């Protein structure tokens, strides 16, 4: 039985900060960002946008195409959770008016949780093909101002419907894993922003890739040449390029510049202008591949490398399904990205500091253009609005 992603759609916020404006403010050569880390823009969430409103924006176009009462579970992956107890997915469940015969759970391990939720969903469907699982990966990447991480912020959400006989990609059994207790990036409970040992984190990422690949080849017997397209977790696009160079080296494969580009570049187009979206980033990369490769990918194998700091990593693959191109929502992705409004550095800082969802009562000024927004907090309870 084939199990995998039947529909996929992603969302991002209505605003961005260009790294040209960022470089000018910080008096840094812009090529450090455009070339050095391979980033041009970062999506910035206004105060009335959170992972629930982003997730609803990502999921709604999927629900319009199916009987939404057929969804049996929501697996919501995030490290920007909105409550220490209630899962973000239950807020989403209410906002989208889903059936009560649907269970909801939140997944967490840094950027890895999106892949963990997807794999859990495939396991659920293999055990009971009647299951239709809505997987959400949604995050807002936020670092302290004037730290090395500030240029690698961003936000986004990806919604994936996981079913049997999927129309887009069948996820193949067999993965390689790597887990190691390290402190490369973390966010203690009392902090809104992540702490990071930046250079160390890039080394652990590449080490985890080598270990997970080794395990993957032992488990599946597959080789580099069995894979046509490679998707990586993308904190910034240069990281994905370094990952692919590393993998080719470990697999002892010599790639021409054209082969290298063809295998990885289409999956980086969106991430370069959206920024890091943590748990969603790998799947924003997959959407980017689907929307930006001008070739038919039917029956080709795509690999996914998920890395979550701390750290947990997984390498797995899927097979593209014939006719997948008929169900893509590429136009919606492009429209969202193109319609974003640029912010000056001062406007970005105003959003950055305005967010205050720890207070008991607040009504947020309207910045988010919808279709869903965080309207306010009353007696410590978040409430949302459909526009
Ligand atoms: P930095 O100190 O700002 O930058 O840190 P740098 O000085 O290392 O420069 C970056 C690159 O730009 C270098 O190239 C420079 O040579 C080059 P490299 O040596 O890396 O090949 N450069 C230039 N190139 C052209 N023209 C110029 C120029 N100037 C410099 N004028 C760092 C960079 C990535 C450390 C920083 O951005 C950071 O701390 N980011 C946050 C952490 C991060 O993203 N880590 C990635 C791996 S961990 C991960 O992916 C997990 C994560 O997503 C979280 C989760 O799991 O939840 C983060």
Q: Which of 183, 201, 281 to mutate to test the pocket of ligand 1 (most atoms within 8 A of CB)?
A: 201
Q: Which of 112, 196, 198, 238 to mutate to test the pocket of ligand 1 (most atoms within 8 A of CB)?
A: 198
Q: Tens digits of per-residue pLDDT, 298-326?
A: 999 999 999 999 999 999 999 999 999 99
Q: 387 pLDDT exceeds 80?
A: yes
Nearest-angstrom CA–CA distance, 299 and 318: 9
**3-class DSSP state of 135:** strand
Tell the residue nearest (CA) to atom 39 of ligand 1: 198
Q: Tens digits of per-residue pLDDT, 9-30?
A: 999 999 999 999 999 999 999 9
Contacts of 162 (CB under 8 A, 6+ apart): 3, 4, 5, 6, 118, 121, 122, 124, 125, 132, 133, 134, 135
User: Taking a C-beta distance cutoff of 8 angstroms, is the pair 271, 42 a contact?
Assistant: no
User: Taking a C-beta distance cutoff of 8 angstroms, is the pair 285, 240 a contact?
Assistant: yes
Whether the bond into 275 is cis, omega within 30 of 0: no
3-386 CATH? 3.40.47.10
Which of 9, 49, 79, 229 is catalytic? The answer is 79
Region 214-232 average pLDDT:
98
Residue 73 is predicted with a pLDDT of 98
Give kind and range of the element (H or E) at residue 351.
Answer: helix 345-354
311 is catalytic: no
CB neighbourhood size of 14 (10 A): 18
Which of 93, 215, 229, 233 is catalytic? The answer is 233
Ligand 1 and 283: CB distance under 6 A: no
Per-residue pLDDT band at 358 (split at 50, 70, 90):
confident
Distance (angstroms) between ligand 1 centre and the Cα of 38 equals 9
Distance (angstroms) between ligand 1 centre and the Cα of 199 equals 7
Residue with structure tokens 């692919």? Answer: 244
Alpha carbon of 59 to those of 26, 166, 210: distances in Å?
A: 37, 17, 34
Q: 47 pLDDT exceeds 80?
A: yes
Residue 255 is predicted with a pLDDT of 96
Distance (angstroms) between ligand 1 centre and the Cα of 37 equals 6
Tell the residue nearest (CA) to atom 50 of ligand 1: 235
- Domain locations in the chain? 3-386
Report the nearest atom of ligand 1 relative to the CA of 233.
50
Report the nearest atom of ligand 1 relative to the CA of 29.
31
Report the nearest atom of ligand 1 relative to the CA of 184.
48
Q: What is the pTM of this model?
A: 0.97
Residue 199 is predicted with a pLDDT of 96
Q: Tens digits of per-residue pLDDT, 276-289?
A: 999 999 999 999 99
Q: Tens digits of per-residue pLDDT, 178-210?
A: 999 999 999 999 899 999 999 999 999 999 999
Ligand 1 and 198: CB distance under 6 A: yes
Q: 356 pLDDT exceeds 80?
A: no
Percentage of the chain with pLDDT > 90? 97
**How many CA atoms within 13 Å lie on the side-chain side of 294?**
0
Ligand 1 and 29: CB distance under 6 A: yes
């Amino acid at each position: 039985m084939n199990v995998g992603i039947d529909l996929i759609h992603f969302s991002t916020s209505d605003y961005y900060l260009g790294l040209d404006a960022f470089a000018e403010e910080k008096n840094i050569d812009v090529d450090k960002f455009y070339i050095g880390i391979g980033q041009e823009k970062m999506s910035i969430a206004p105060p009335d946008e959170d992972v629930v409103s982003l997730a609803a924006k990502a999921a709604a176009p999927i629900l319009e195409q199916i009987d939404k009462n057929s969804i049996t579970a929501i697996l919501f992956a995030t490290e920007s959770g909105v409550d220490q107890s209630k899962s973000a997915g239950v807020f989403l469940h209410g906002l989208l008016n889903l059936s009560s015969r649907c269970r909801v759970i939140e997944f967490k391990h840094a950027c890895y949780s999106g892949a963990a939720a997807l794999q859990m969903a495939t396991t659920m469907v293999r055990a009971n093909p009647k299951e239709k699982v809505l997987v959400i990966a949604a995050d807002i990447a936020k670092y302290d101002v004037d730290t090395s991480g500030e240029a690698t912020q961003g936000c986004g959400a990806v919604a994936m419907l996981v079913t049997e006989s999927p129309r887009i990609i069948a996820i193949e059994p067999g993965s390689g894993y790597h887990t190691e207790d390290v402190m490369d990036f973390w966010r203690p409970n009392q902090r809104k922003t992540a702490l990071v040992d930046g250079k160390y984190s890039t080394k652990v990422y590449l080490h985890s890739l080598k270990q997970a690949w080794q395990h993957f080849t032992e488990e599946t017997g597959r080789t580099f040449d069995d894979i046509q397209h490679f998707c990586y977790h993308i904190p910034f696009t240069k990281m994905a390029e370094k990952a692919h160079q590393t993998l080719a080296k470990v697999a002892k494969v010599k790639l021409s510049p054209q082969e290298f580009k063809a295998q990885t570049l289409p999956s980086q187009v969106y991430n370069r202008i959206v920024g890091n979206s943590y748990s969603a980033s790998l799947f924003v990369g997959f959407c980017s591949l689907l929307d930006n490769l001008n070739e038919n990918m039917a029956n080709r194998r795509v690999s996914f490398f998920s890395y979550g700091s701390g750290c947990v990593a997984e390498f797995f693959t899927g097979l593209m399904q014939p006719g997948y191109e008929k169900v893509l929502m590429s136009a919606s992705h492009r429209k969202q990205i193109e319609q974003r409004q640029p912010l000056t550095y001062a406007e970005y800082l105003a959003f950055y500091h305005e967010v205050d969802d720890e207070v008991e009562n607040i009504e947020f000024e309207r910045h988010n253009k919808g279709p869903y927004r965080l309207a306010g907090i009353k007696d410590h309870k978040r409430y949302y609005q459909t526009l």
